[in-house]
Chain A
Amino acid sequence: MRLPGTREERILIVDDEELIVLAMRKYFEGLGYTVDSAHELEEAQALLTTRRYDLVIADLRLTGIGGVEGLQIVSDIHQRHGDTRVILLSAYGTPEIERESYNRGADAFLHKPKSMMEIANVAVTLLAER
């Protein structure tokens, strides 16, 4: 399925797992998006300060057990870039964390496992709404 990505649309993928980042980068670049990636919270924050993204796809947990760095990313984006869409991914999300992510401004909270196509469908829908 060819999705309507354009070279002008820029996506940031944030995950501490290198293989996941590589897989997602390859998939979304194949759809025509420009993709950056980060592996830790501060790296993502540095990119968000210096560049503008249309969409951020971030794992909720970037460090160890109990980490919820993804929530901080959502807050940072909501404060600085009102038109940037955010998808949070998590295998450990509780209803409370999911609620908190929406309170902070997340556009979607997806429970892993999800296929690339499922994630891409959500991404394209969010980008089309901008």
Chain B
Amino acid sequence: MSESALNRILQPGAITPVYQPVFRVSNGKKEIHGVECLSRGPRGTNFESAEVLFEYVRLKREESLVDRACIAAAFRGASALPTTLRLGINVHASTLGRDHGFIAFLQSTAAATGIAAQRIVIEIVEHAPPWTTSVSSRRSNSSASSAWPSPSMTSASGNRTSKCCSTCGPTT
């Protein structure tokens, strides 16, 4: 029997981060505002495609595990980027709802890689009912206590996903 695909995805170095620039356009001028951190699975496999990778991860109900791996890879790679750039990371709503250690992981990983919390923008990816009212309240209270602003709902395009963004740390 072949090795589980999930184990291959979680091998060190298996996830490759890529960074998509985000520009601010104002008064006819454009300047780079930040990057969105995207992930590619193991090269040469079905999971090199992000679409296949994350569909597989959702079917296995291992969103939290892979979200963490993707973020760790993204933050490690981002150390080569200018420190003024915002870093947008995609996080499944189910990860926020079920992984109670996720925020602590995010904070410690950012600190370990020299990423200031204020640079991080969490883009919540929703594929299933993301959270219950009680969980939502708990997360909002937790965010307030760690100086994170309440998330603002921003509708986003996508056949099956919607996103809302929350910026870590004070907004400018």
Name which residue of chain A comes closest to B54, CB basis.
A46
Q: Is the CB of A39 within 8 A of B5?
A: yes
Whether B81 is near chain A, meaning CB under 8 Å from some CB there, is no
Q: Given A36-B46, A38-B46, answer yes or no on A46-B56 (Cβ-Cβ < 8 Å).
A: yes
Q: Is the CB of A40 within 8 A of B55?
A: no
Whole-angstrom CA separation of A21 from B45 in the bound complex: 14
Q: Nearest chain A CB to B140's CB is how many angstroms away?
A: 33
Whole-angstrom CA separation of A26 from B108 in the bound complex: 47
User: Which residues of the partner chain B approach A36 to less than 8 Å between Cβ atoms?
Assistant: 46
- Binary per-residue interface labels of chain A (32-57) against chain B in the complex, 1 for a CB within 8 Å, 0 otherwise: 00001111101101110111000000
Whole-angstrom CA separation of A16 from B53 in the bound complex: 18
User: Which residues of the partner chain A approach B51 to less than 8 Å between Cβ atoms?
Assistant: 50
Name which residue of chain A comes closest to B45, CB basis.
A43
Q: Nearest chain B CB to A42's CB is how many angstroms away?
A: 4
Whether A18 is near chain B, meaning CB under 8 Å from some CB there, is yes
Whole-angstrom CA separation of A16 from B46 in the bound complex: 15
Q: Is the CB of A40 within 8 A of B52?
A: no
Whole-angstrom CA separation of A49 from B55 in the bound complex: 8
User: Which residues of the partner chain B approach A45 to less than 8 Å between Cβ atoms?
Assistant: 55-56, 59
Whole-angstrom CA separation of A60 from B134 in the bound complex: 42
Whole-angstrom CA separation of A66 from B55 in the bound complex: 26
Whole-angstrom CA separation of A42 from B53 in the bound complex: 10
With beta carbons under 8 angstroms apart, the residue of A16, A47, A50 that contacts B2 is A16
User: Which residues of the partner chain B approach A38 to less than 8 Å between Cβ atoms?
Assistant: 46
Q: Is the CB of B52 within 8 A of A46?
A: yes
Interface centre among A17, A43, A47 (most CB of B within 10 A): A43
Q: Given A36-B46, A38-B46, A42-B60, answer yes or no on A50-B55 (Cβ-Cβ < 8 Å).
A: yes
